[in-house]
Structure 1
Amino acid sequence: MSFSSLSTSYRWRWIRFQVQRRFARPRGVWSLAGPVLLQEFALVLTGTVVMAMASHLGPASVAAIGMMDALNFLLIAIYGGLAIGATVTVAHCVGAGRRDDLRAVAFSALALALCAGVLVALLLWNTRGVWIAMVLPGAEEAVKVQADRYFRWVIVAGMATSIVLTSCGVLRGMARTDTAMRVQVVMAVSQIVMAAIFMRGADGSVNGAGAALLLARCGGVALVLLALWPTLRQGAEHAGGWPVRKAFMQSILRVGWPAALESSFFHLGKIVTQTIVVGLGTTAMAANFIAFYVSNFVNTPGTALGVAATTLVGMRLGAGRVKAAQLVLRRVIRSANWSLSTMAAIVLPFSWWLAGLFGNNAEVTAQAAWLIALSCVFMPAWAGSWVLPAGLRGAGDTRYGLVVGSSTMWGLRIGAGYVLGIVCGLGVIGVWLGMFADWIVRNILFRKRMRGTAWTRHRLLG
């Protein structure tokens, strides 16, 4: 029987079945991933809008904010490691039925976040000249001046970022992704509004973007602590002694430090890659950052499903259900493959139009459009290279990701990117081809890991 011979109702049932089979399995995955998807769209939109506002201040402002945001992403990577550790520890507690321990886990995570935020801020403030020289070698003096101004705001805002991300990690471990989403969306919208106010007019500058970032993150701290307040108060009248427990801090760090180190190496590698792009000129720098923000938009379904995979795998392994954890990870990866491929197919025809939204420089637009189009073409490899390791982290399997991620980053994204971009003369496109090679090899290695059982043998709660 052909599809055309079926009745309309049967056709719709068949279409619904195919969509559920490819996008919505395992059942309920989008109840976790959906809020994260909205949150990631909001965060990517925030960066894109701020960058678009900066484009009207001139190429120096675009380059300064873009390069310092690379360091901001490095901070987020460090604090994101703590957030992952908190998510996995909380998920294992929930899966094991140990909800009475959630208060202690939350306090332990917040204590680590506060210490990390203060220490990193002090270190970066006293060495910011070194960082600017490292990420902007040979850049114009105007770019360096703007970068220093914006970096000061990024450093101070980093302390608030640490608390927000770690607290959201606790919420996600409890499957409260909707609450974490509301906090992040409000924070993103407030940053856009304040940036529009502070960056407008003749006096607009990167200081306006920095002030908006800091105020939005401080507001996020208030919101996320309010969301966690019931958990922080849970059983407080019966709990004796200091709520921070060494065992939970060790559990968070056992998962978090390899994840943080992997992300840190990854973002350091990205910074090194971007310094290669700096040597290609201001036009290449601007095109690189424009394409980066648009590609992040395409990646958002995968990022959301990665968070869901971490929580779902952690809960099932916390309950001792190894087979269920393996099954849910395979199904989430399948959903990620279809979702990312669909997003890429939608964005690809609009590559030139999207690139043109960030200014009227024809050369910048052309280079950015080619990068966006290539990113869409290679997008099918992204799920296995990024969503899959997020699921493995839910099992506490972070050291394998550290080894693979660091090796492919420095061997392919940097090494191959330099050879193709500089030695072979392909420019910024060659640098991005090195990144795509990184995606492909990571995809192969992590899928091989998933087919084994070593990643299911970690025990976090004793």
Structure 2
Amino acid sequence: MVIKKDILKLIGPIITEQTFISSMGIINTILASRLGKEAISSIGMADSINNILIGFFSALAVGGTVVVAQYVGQKNQKAANEASKQIMYSGELITIFITILIWILRHPIVLLLFGKAEKIVFDNAILYLSISLVTYPFITAQLVAFGVLRGAGDTKTPMYINVFINVLNVILSYAFIYGIKIINLKGLGVEGAAIGIGLSRLIGAIVALYILIKGTSVVKLYDLWHFRPDIKMLRSIFNIGLPAGLESLLFSGGKLITQVFVVLFGTASIAANSIGFSVQQIFNIPGNALSIASTIVVGQDMGSGDPVAAKKSLYYMTWLASICMGILGAVSFPFARFLVSIYTTNQDVIDIAVKVVRLNLACMVLWSLSFVLPAGLKGAGDAKYTLMTSIIGMWAFRIVLGYVLGVVMKFGLVGVWIGMFTDWAVRGTLYLIRLRGTKWQKAIV
């Protein structure tokens, strides 16, 4: 399969960006792993909550991406600019409200979900979550700015910013986790990991907002001090953003429930689970890039009034992702133990993690069908269908089957991951059926 030049131009910067994000995330995980399995377990537990909320903020930003992409397809720069401001303000207001709510409830939430964890793991999870909460508004500012720029077809600027803030994140995290003797900076362990990533998010938000306010040839965030809600435009944004956000909440909530199952298996399994997902990030890079690209391309095709081109583009990017990830999985399979051993020297953790990583590599094609396809459908405004499909896959298969295999039948972490792969297969099949029809091309934005 030949990679089309226009697609390559779009996904090239995204792949570079995703590679840096994943690499820096892996380095952060390795830095935390060196503090011990308790540290990586506590960060993994806190991040399972963080990821739910960050996923929700990201999904809200998708509404802005799609609307901007469709206005760009219509050559309506004024409306694209206004959509940028509407999603930035509304996204920040929602984020601040959620941040305050979770801050108040953070202790009972962690107690409810992970009360059976060891005390040191539990306490560090509370600490890490508390610091992370303060950074949520910065995350939303970044996500919205990047989404708007990508919707306008600019994937290079988000790449440059993300490369910068992720390198900065690793430097700051190392400094705050282990300390720097020359300047008498004490190592803060888990707390330092949270501070490092928090500062990088703040700086990233400032840079992203500066770029968007300065503007590009296609889109600009202007006249920020004068904001009046545009109900019609907000309805268009949230017709996509809210179903996508609800989908993300329910999907991530389901993942959190499976994390609760994992806690029952002990600290070694919690650590192995965190490592498994960290390794998964590496192999998802091509798929993540094509997921982002499919939202942009389909959105612009639909905005220009060409649903046939949108369908062809989505088919093309889905199969391209499947081929790339299938090859990557096959080539990497023999090196699973080596990859896992980079994170930890604990043999119990390595043995468990290797099993789930190998299973993941064998199921890579299923991932592309269950993530690239719905990203494109959302680009067409078909967010309600992806919401319902996600609920079916997550709650009927990943959770129920994961519990039966992992807890009831005592397959442990492997059983929980098999439930996840089954979810991928079910959702991928349902999305393919949807793509072959025409209803998704008639969604109203």
User: For each residue in 1:271-309, what CA deviation from the matched residue of structure 2 results, as whole angstroms up to 9, or x when unmatched?
Assistant: 100110000011111111101110121011101101100
Matched, 1:406 2:398: no
Is the contact made by 1:109 and 1:167 (CA closer than 8 Å) also made in structure 2?
A: no
Is the contact made by 1:255 and 1:397 (CA closer than 8 Å) also made in structure 2?
A: yes
Map 1:409-424 → 2, pairs under 5 A:
409-424=394-409
Q: 1:345 to 1:164 in 2, by over 3 A?
A: same
**Secondary structure of the structure 2 residue equivalent to 1:286:** helix
Q: 1:191 to 1:234 in 2, by over 3 A?
A: closer
Q: Which amino acid aligns with 2:324?
A: S
Aligned to 1:5: none
Map 1:251-270 → 2, pairs under 5 A:
251-270=236-255
User: For each residue in 1:26-79, what CA deviation from the matched residue of structure 2 results, as whole angstroms up to 9, or x when unmatched?
Assistant: x41121122121222222222211111111212211101011111121121111
Q: Which amino acid aligns with 2:303?
A: G
2:282 corresponds, among 297, 307, 312, to 297
Aligned to 1:216: 200
Q: 2-side partners of 1:126 and 1:160: how far apart?
A: 19
Q: 1-side partners of 2:112 and 2:162: how far apart?
A: 31
Is the contact made by 2:149 and 2:158 (CA closer than 8 Å) also made in structure 1?
A: yes
Map 1:318-329 → 2, pairs under 5 A:
318-329=303-314
User: For each residue in 1:429-452, what CA deviation from the matched residue of structure 2 results, as whole angstroms up to 9, or x when unmatched?
Assistant: 011000000011111100000000
1:115 corresponds, among 64, 89, 93, to 93
Is the contact made by 2:85 and 2:222 (CA closer than 8 Å) also made in structure 1?
A: no
Q: How much does 1:241 deviate?
A: 6.7
**Secondary structure of the structure 2 residue equivalent to 1:127:** helix
Aligned to 2:430: 445
Structure 1 gaps of 5+ residues are 1-17
Select the structure of larger CA radius of gyration: 1
Is the contact made by 1:104 and 1:244 (CA closer than 8 Å) also made in structure 2?
A: no
Map 1:73-112 → 2, pairs under 5 A:
73-112=51-90
Aligned to 2:320: 335
Map 1:163-174 → 2, pairs under 5 A:
163-174=141-152
Q: Which amino acid aligns with 1:271?
A: L
Q: 2-side partners of 1:58 and 1:271: how far apart?
A: 22
Matched, 1:348 2:333: yes
Aligned to 2:182: none
**Secondary structure of the structure 2 residue equivalent to 1:216:** helix
Is the contact made by 1:107 and 1:243 (CA closer than 8 Å) also made in structure 2?
A: no
User: For each residue in 1:410-460, what CA deviation from the matched residue of structure 2 results, as whole angstroms up to 9, or x when unmatched?
Assistant: 111110001011111111001100000001111110000000000000232
Matched, 1:69 2:54: no
User: For each residue in 1:107-136, what CA deviation from the matched residue of structure 2 results, as whole angstroms up to 9, or x when unmatched?
Assistant: 101101210221111011000012211331
Matched, 1:383 2:361: no
Q: 2-side partners of 1:94 and 1:229: how far apart?
A: 18
Q: 1-side partners of 2:240 and 2:221: how far apart?
A: 27
Query: Identity over aligned residues, as a percent?
Result: 32
Q: 1:229 to 1:154 in 2, by over 3 A?
A: same
Q: How much does 1:249 deviate?
A: 1.6
Q: 2-side partners of 1:90 and 1:298: how far apart?
A: 29
TM-score normalised to structure 1 length:
0.91
Aligned to 1:373: 358
1:162 corresponds, among 137, 140, 144, to 140
Matched, 1:314 2:292: no
Provide the aligned C-alpha RMSD in A: 1.8
TM-score normalised to structure 2 length:
0.95
Structure 2 gaps of 5+ residues are 180-185
Q: Which amino acid aligns with 1:118?
A: I
User: For each residue in 1:358-409, what CA deviation from the matched residue of structure 2 results, as whole angstroms up to 9, or x when unmatched?
Assistant: 1111111011111111100011111111100000000010001111101110
Aligned to 1:9: none
User: For each residue in 1:124-154, what CA deviation from the matched residue of structure 2 results, as whole angstroms up to 9, or x when unmatched?
Assistant: 1000012211331310111111111101111
Moved more, 258-267 or 227-236: 227-236
Map 1:233-272 → 2, pairs under 5 A:
242=227, 244-272=229-257
Q: 1:365 to 1:236 in 2, by over 3 A?
A: closer
Aligned to 1:152: 130
1:205 corresponds, among 168, 189, 210, to 189
Aligned to 2:174: 196
